[in-house]
């Protein structure tokens, strides 16, 4: 059995606890490796090496820090096929989509290469008599990130890119379900010239996340995962005085106004609802046609498009999507499908029971479609995170606007329309953090920033973009006065005003 080990101080470090999590190949349903689960002592080893290495890294001038990232970019491009295949073999997404996972992370590294400019402070000459004021954005020290299974390349890079560029040392706790790519990324960073200790990978589950939250040397924690865990990590981290950002689950709606181009909507929905087996926090699992005529026309066009979808193994270039990540997750999605039936929604296409020839034990699910889903149903209120699309019919723009606005999650939303007026009003009023207008998956580009509202994001600052730079730095403001010798010195008991 292959063991996947921690990566501490620039080298592989075998776990000592004797505790492991199985890493499956979702295509075959078989265990392909096991990953060590660290304890608090192993975390402490990583934190100590990070703390020892960080001051010298922070003292490296920002252009040289950026050059390490530039070399890392070159290595990422060189190894992207290997990374995508490794990623697909543990996650289950098709290799072409795994490339996207690597490349969306790479784009954040490209952004972080601009750190000499991005981290620059501000300066005011003559803020008062012989007084100048300047501010510097200094790294926090040792920071950590906890990442979910669904983007094992992109999300670690969202975090360690800006954190390391700004002069911090980073502890990454990746998902135990697909831990190999994060380790490979850390190896490539070392190959790119990063000093040992600046990027460490420590594996495990809740126990090690609790230890990260409690560790006094770790000054900031970025978390991405499901909302209940996000909320509890946010509360626990804040109680420890840490800077915390915790991104949670989602239930993104696609609003379809009667003037939308339905062929485009259906083409977009196939990828957005079913791509990556629906295991994306920016997937579009709820579609809201406005008016019964729009709903009927949309449903009629969805059926042949769904029938044409091919589900297959990750390495099959013709497959539109692959298996879900685990048997437990497959069973959970199936139980949501049954619940939808029991709650009274119309099961139009049932994706249960799919067997892929030669891969009968793989965690496959065919696409599922529900119609006449209502807001009182649990299957509407909760995140399913699988290849399940739900039609919720609305009768007016206002009703459609209220659905995502009143939902517990507020990650992404999209409106399909040809009316600029309607789109503008929707974007302005909707209570959701990331809005698409005729864009099915509105994940912001690397130089904007990513973050949902309500139970999708417990954070003041988003991931990447300038928010990422701010999250991993603290501002020091220096007010300096250089009096000219020989002037009269006066006492003052009044706070100076300008």
Task: Please give the residue ranges that form the binding site for ligand NAD (CB under 6 A).
Answer: 146-151, 173, 175-176, 205-206, 209, 224-226, 229, 233, 247-250, 281, 383, 385, 411, 452, 456
Nearer to ligand NAD by Cβ, of 289 and 468: the residue is 468
Whole-angstrom distance, CA of residue 22 vs CA of residue 176? 8
* Among 153, 154, 158, residue whose Cα is nearest residue 170: 158
Nearer to ligand NAD by Cβ, of 173 and 219: the residue is 173
3-class DSSP assignment, residue 374: coil
Provide the CB-side half-sphere exposure for 293 (13 A, CA). Answer: 5
User: Which residue is nearest to ligand NAD, using beta carbons?
Assistant: 225
Question: Is 281 marked active-site?
Answer: yes
CB 233 within 8 A of CB 213: yes
Q: Which residues pair with 326 in a beta bridge?
A: none
Q: Which residues pair with 132 in a beta bridge?
A: 480
Nearer to ligand NAD by Cβ, of 364 and 450: the residue is 450
Nearer to ligand NAD by Cβ, of 203 and 219: the residue is 203
Whole-angstrom distance, CA of residue 104 vs CA of residue 98? 10
In angstroms, give the least distance from the CB of 424 to ligand NAD.
Answer: 25
Cβ-count burial 318-329 (b if 16+ within 10 Å, e if not): ebbbbbbbbeeb
Q: Which residue in the list 281, 290, 365, 434 is annotated as catalytic?
A: 281
Nearer to ligand NAD by Cβ, of 168 and 276: the residue is 276
Whole-angstrom distance, CA of residue 440 vs CA of residue 143? 33
> Which residues make Cβ contacts (< 8 Å) with residue 361, sequence separation at least 6?
28, 29, 30
Cα 175 to Cα 56, 61, 88, 224, 301, distances in angstroms:
30, 33, 14, 10, 38
In angstroms, give the least distance from the CB of 228 to ligand NAD.
Answer: 8
Q: 498: burial class by Cβ within 10 Å (0-12, 13-18, 19+)?
A: exposed
What count of other Cβ atoms lies within 10 Å of the Cβ of residue 316?
16
CB 274 within 8 A of CB 333: no
In angstroms, give the least distance from the CB of 209 to ligand NAD.
Answer: 3
Here the tokens at position 492 are 């003052």
Cα 344 to Cα 39, 299, 338, 393, 418, distances in angstroms:
46, 18, 10, 14, 33
In angstroms, give the least distance from the CB of 459 to ligand NAD.
Answer: 10
In angstroms, give the least distance from the CB of 70 to ligand NAD.
Answer: 26
In angstroms, give the least distance from the CB of 23 to ligand NAD.
Answer: 13
Nearer to ligand NAD by Cβ, of 91 and 359: the residue is 91
In angstroms, give the least distance from the CB of 22 to ligand NAD.
Answer: 14
134 torsion bin: left (phi>0), alpha (psi -120 to 50), beta (else): beta
307 torsion bin: left (phi>0), alpha (psi -120 to 50), beta (else): alpha
Nearer to ligand NAD by Cβ, of 371 and 383: the residue is 383
Whole-angstrom distance, CA of residue 458 vs CA of residue 210? 17
Report, as residue numbers or ranges, the catalytic residues: 281
């Amino acid at each position: 059995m292959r063991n996947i080990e921690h990566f501490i101080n620039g080298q592989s470090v075998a776990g000592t606890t004797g505790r492991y999590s199985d890493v499956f190949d979702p295509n075959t349903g078989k265990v392909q490796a096991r990953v060590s689960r660290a304890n608090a002592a192993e975390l402490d080893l990583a934190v100590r090496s990070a703390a020892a290495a960080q001051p010298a890294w922070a003292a490296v001038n920002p252009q040289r820090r950026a050059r390490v990232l530039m070399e890392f970019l070159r290595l990422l491009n060189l190894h992207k096929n290997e990374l995508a295949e490794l990623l697909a073999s543990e996650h289950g997404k098709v290799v072409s989509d795994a490339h996207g996972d690597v490349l969306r992370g790479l784009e954040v590294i490209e952004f972080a290469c601009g750190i000499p400019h991005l981290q620059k402070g501000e300066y005011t000459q003559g803020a008062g008599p012989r007084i100048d004021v300047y501010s510097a954005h200094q790294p926090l020290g040792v920071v950590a990130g906890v990442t979910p299974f669904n983007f094992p390349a992109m999300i670690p890079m969202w975090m360690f890119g800006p954190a390391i560029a700004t002069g911090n040392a980073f502890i990454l706790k990746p998902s135990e379900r697909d831990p190999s790519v994060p380790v490979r990324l850390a190896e490539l960073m070392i190959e790119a010239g990063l000093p040992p200790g600046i990027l460490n990978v420590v594996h495990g589950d809740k126990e090690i996340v609790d230890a990260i939250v409690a560790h006094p040397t770790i000054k900031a924690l970025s978390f991405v995962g499901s909302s209940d865990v996000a909320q509890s990590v946010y509360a626990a981290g804040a109680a420890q005085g840490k800077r915390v950002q915790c991104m949670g689950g989602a239930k993104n709606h696609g609003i379809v106004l009667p003037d939308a181009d339905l062929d485009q909507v259906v083409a977009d929905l196939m990828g957005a609802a079913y791509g990556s087996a629906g295991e994306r926090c920016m997937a579009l699992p709820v579609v809201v046609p406005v008016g019964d005529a729009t709903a009927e026309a949309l449903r009629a066009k969805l059926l042949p498009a769904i029938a044409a979808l091919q589900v297959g193994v990750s390495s099959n270039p013709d497959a539109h999507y692959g298996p879900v990540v685990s048997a437990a997750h497959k069973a959970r999605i199936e139980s949501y499908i049954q619940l939808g039936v029991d709650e009274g929604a119309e099961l139009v296409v049932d994706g249960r029971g799919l067997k892929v020839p030669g891969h009968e034990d793989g965690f496959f699910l065919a696409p599922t479609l529900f119609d006449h889903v209502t807001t009182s149903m649990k299957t509407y209120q909760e995140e399913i995170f699988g290849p399940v699309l739900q039609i919720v019919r609305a009768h007016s723009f206002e009703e459609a606007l209220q659905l995502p606005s009143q939902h517990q999650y507020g990650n992404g939303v999209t409106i399909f329309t040809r009316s600029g007026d309607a789109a503008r009003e929707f974007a302005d009023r909707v209570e959701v953090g990331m809005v698409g207008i005729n864009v099915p998956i509105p994940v912001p580009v690397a130089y904007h920033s990513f973050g949902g509202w309500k139970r999708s994001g417990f954070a003041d600052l988003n991931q990447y973009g300038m928010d990422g730079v701010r999250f991993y730095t603290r501002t020091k403001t220096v007010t300096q006065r250089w009096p000219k010798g020989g002037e009269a010195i006066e006492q003052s008991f009044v706070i100076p005003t300008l």
